[in-house]
Amino acid sequence: MSIKVSIDASGGDYGIPTTIVAGIKALGAFLDLHLVFVGDQSSIQAELDKHPHAKKYAKRFSVTHASETIAMHESPSIALRKKKDSSMRVAINLVKDGTTDACVSAGNTGALMAISRFVLKTIKGIDRPAIMGRMPTMGGHIHMLDLGANVDSKPEALLEFAIMGAIAVKYTENITSPTVGLLNIGEEEMKGNDKIKKTSELLKASNLNYVGFIEGNDIYKGTVDLVVCDGFEGNIALKASEGVASMMGHYLKRAFTKNIFTKLIALIATPVLKDFKSSLDPGKYNGASLLGLRGIVVKSHGSANADSFFQAIKEAYLEVQVKITEKIATQVSLELKQNHE
């Protein structure tokens, strides 16, 4: 059985040159993968013509024309209402009508969420989809959700996030019973608010492998397999982390470029610094999942290069392979039944 993925080829900061290269790489890596590149047909064709490998895979990809693109800072509601022939919308429509099994886009997150929700709808029992991403840790990586799709999530919504996330981690990472932690703050007396306490009670009562509260620094220790939080805190934690990483990179570079001597030392240390950088390469973790939809949608970072956009395609491929949507739907209906018994 083949795995079919539609690519929003025009999405992201770099668009077609990047997404096509990544697509060709994915076709080389996964022999049962079929791709549909969606965007301006002639631009896509021109890009494909540049790559000698493309011909080799000609039977495993097609191009679907879309006359519009959604800008990175366009309002999601306008994108949803006015741009019915955008590359993003058409790529998602292909999932809806069964032409493809999943969609990957590096476009505007808000628009991707709004259009996916509108076109695909949510799984029965799921109120709102959530964005789950991989976070690097000292020993590898873990998953975290929600990273910014939902603010003011109620305890019941946070429980839904945990159920969906645990299923996704279980099947894409092959972890039988992923440990789940709830993001909270550490001061004893003031430990969290009523919402977080109620969520913790719901998680304790569930069938999840819930281990309790974790703090912000635990994310990067890899204390748990899955971190659950509201999208407001999740997005702030993610962005603050990106900020610290940039700042440290800035200071490291500054220290090594201060004068002629430090520059010489930098030359000698180049392999070590490269090794350091590769262990933290954010591209390795590219590909956030929009969980809870009746279809697989993977969001790539807007500034992804071809290698990291490839990771997002790989994520979509894996999710199709393990039938993540069906798995989540089954688990959610089970939990709903239990709650009604």
When the beta carbons of 25 and 117 are compared against its own copies, the nearer one is 117
Identify which range of 22-30, 41-49, 59-67, 185-193 contacts its own copies by CB under 8 A.
185-193
- Cα–Cα distance between 245 and 237 in angstroms, integer? 12
Nearest-angstrom CA–CA distance, 305 and 322: 26
> According to CB under 8 A, which one of 41, 62, 137, 206 is a site residue for its own copies?
137
Choose, by CB under 8 A, the member of 64, 86, 116, 150 that binds its own copies.
150
Stretch of 20-28, 275-283, 298-306, 326-334 lying at the interface with its own copies (CB under 8 A): 275-283
Query: What are the angstrom distances between the C-alpha of 289 and each of 57, 120, 127, 296?
Result: 27, 14, 16, 8
Provide, rounded to whole angstroms, the least separation between the CB of residue 161 and its own copies: 15
Closest separation in Å from C-beta 269 to its own copies: 5
Q: Is 239 a residue that touches its own copies (CB under 8 A)?
A: yes
198 CB-near residues (< 8 Å, 6+ apart): 155
Q: Which is nearer to its own copies, 25 or 83 (CB)?
A: 83
Residues touching its own copies, count (CB under 8 A)? 72
25/30 Cα distance (integer angstroms): 9
- Rule CB under 8 A: is residue 13 a binding residue for its own copies? no
CA dist., res. 107 & res. 302, Å (int): 6
Identify the residue among 46, 58, 205, 244 touching its own copies (CB under 8 A): 244
Q: Which of 45, 82, 84, 73 minimizes the C-alpha distance to 61?
A: 45
Q: Which of 169, 180, 183 is nearest to 209 (CA)?
A: 180
Interface residue with its own copies among 1, 52, 98, 189 (CB under 8 A) is: 189
Check residue 71 for interaction with its own copies (CB under 8 A).
Answer: no
Q: Is 140 in the site for its own copies (CB under 8 A)?
A: no
213 near its own copies, rule: CB under 8 A: no
- Candidates 161, 32, 8; CA nearest to 86 is 8
**Does residue number 312 form part of the binding site for its own copies (CB under 8 A)?**
no
Task: Tell which positions 95-134 bind its own copies, by CB under 8 A.
Answer: 108-111, 113-114
Instruction: Give me the numbers of helices (H) and strands (E) for the chain, helices first please.
Output: 13, 11
**228 in contact with its own copies (CB under 8 A):** no
Q: Could you say which of 40, 233, 315, 319 contacts its own copies (CB under 8 A)?
A: 233
Q: Which of 237, 296, 304, 312 binds its own copies (CB under 8 A)?
A: 237
**CB half-sphere exposure, 252, CA atoms < 13 A:** 14
Q: Compute φ and ψ for 30, nearest 5 degrees.
A: -120, 110
